[in-house]
A = this chain, B = another copy of it.
Amino acid sequence: MHKKVSIIGLGLIGGSIALDLKKSGFASHIIGVDASPIHRQQALQLGIADEILPLSEAMLQADLVVAAIPVNALMECLPHVLDIIPPHAVVTDVGSTKSALINTVKNHPNRRQYVPSHPMAGTENSGPAAALPHLFSGKVAVICNPDDSSAEALVTVRSMYAHLEARIVLMDADSHDEHVGYVSHLSHVISYALAVAVLEKEKNDAAIFNLASAGFASTVRLAKSSVDMWLPIFLQNKDHILPIINTYLDTLIRFKTYLENDETDRLSDFIKEANKIRTKLEQK
């Protein structure tokens, strides 16, 4: 409680974390770090950060550092942050891919001050103005490879997520990367592809969106997600995502083949199998 928290990246995720850490009393003071002058100004105006400092000063003053920048930027930033933080400070990140990042600091002398994490929440929007209170309430936050972090660092990061009202799940980094490949990254891939396919159709048929309803909006929502955040995720998690896309393609082609061949019993079984997702999601 009453910690000085430095947040690197004042966007949707970093900004939402800041709002709740301040309101819950976990943070006595939020120091913001952001490469964008506009975002720095917005973060101050929106009460996301109490003050803005350059990275190195923000690190020196921090009890806890939360790095909430795209996963490619994390690869450069995290080793540097571990180089310069005070001995008592704890560092976490909230990136959507974990193995590659953990690998870059595996031999760092301050590795045990770092707790890799990933809160499973977000929206298709970005920037400080997209920050939302209670974004993580009731959601899962993954902590990866906890044995490689110090007990004190784990206590701090667990406490942070408790103040965000998130539920902790422990997982090794490779399992994390495969699981989010299925239930997060694949959803983004198929949604981007849906948007591109329909937008290309629109070039010859301007009326195509006239009939778009809530169902289309739901399926295509993630296609609004920012390229800065998502392109590095796909590249870093490529070894998991490519076979997952292949599995998805095989499944979709199975549906198509049944339809081509009028195999109504198989189509019916396919749809009934898909319907089971209702129970699975309710059980969560």
Q: Is the CB of A214 within 8 A of B274?
A: no
Q: Is the CB of A276 within 8 A of B195?
A: yes
Q: Does residue A60 face the partner (Cβ distance < 8 Å to B)?
A: no
Q: Does residue A38 face the partner (Cβ distance < 8 Å to B)?
A: no
Instruction: Please indicate the chain B residues that have their CB under 8 angstroms from the CB of A202 in the complex.
Output: 280
Bound-state Cα–Cα, A173 to B61, Å: 67
Q: Is the CB of B219 within 8 A of A207?
A: no
**Cβ-neighbour of A219 out of B142, B175, B222, B241 (below 8 A):** B222
Q: Is the CB of B184 within 8 A of A213?
A: yes
Q: Is the interface of A mostly helix, strand, loop or mixed?
A: helix
Q: Is the CB of A252 within 8 A of B251?
A: no
Q: Does residue A235 face the partner (Cβ distance < 8 Å to B)?
A: yes
Closest to A121 in B: B213
**Cβ-neighbour of A218 out of B219, B241, B256 (below 8 A):** B219
Bound-state Cα–Cα, A217 to B280, Å: 11
Closest CB in chain B relative to A75 CB, distance in Å: 15
Q: Is the CB of A221 within 8 A of B224?
A: no
Q: Does residue A155 face the partner (Cβ distance < 8 Å to B)?
A: no
Which A234-279 residues have a C-beta within 8 angstroms of B?
A: 234-235, 238, 241-242, 245-249, 251-253, 255-256, 259-260, 262, 264, 267-268, 270-278
Contact flag A142-B234 (CB < 8 Å), given A192-B274, A197-B247, A199-B274: no
Closest to A276 in B: B199
Q: Does residue A122 face the partner (Cβ distance < 8 Å to B)?
A: yes
**Cβ-neighbour of A179 out of B140, B210, B246 (below 8 A):** B210
Q: Does residue A129 face the partner (Cβ distance < 8 Å to B)?
A: no
Closest CB in chain B relative to A5 CB, distance in Å: 24
Instruction: Please indicate the chain B residues that have their CB under 8 angstroms from the CB of A175 in the complex.
Output: 207
Q: Does residue A223 face the partner (Cβ distance < 8 Å to B)?
A: yes
Q: Is the CB of A270 within 8 A of B196?
A: yes
Which A155-200 residues have a C-beta within 8 angstroms of B?
A: 169, 175-176, 179-180, 182-184, 186-200
Closest to A123 in B: B214
Q: Is the CB of B264 within 8 A of A211?
A: no
Closest CB in chain B relative to A198 CB, distance in Å: 5
Q: Please list 21 pairs of residues, one from A and one from B, whose beta carbons are closer than 8 Å in the complex, sorted by A's number.
A: A120-B213, A139-B213, A140-B210, A176-B211, A179-B207, A179-B211, A183-B212, A186-B194, A187-B218, A187-B219, A189-B255, A193-B251, A201-B247, A215-B221, A217-B281, A227-B275, A231-B267, A234-B259, A242-B256, A245-B252, A246-B256
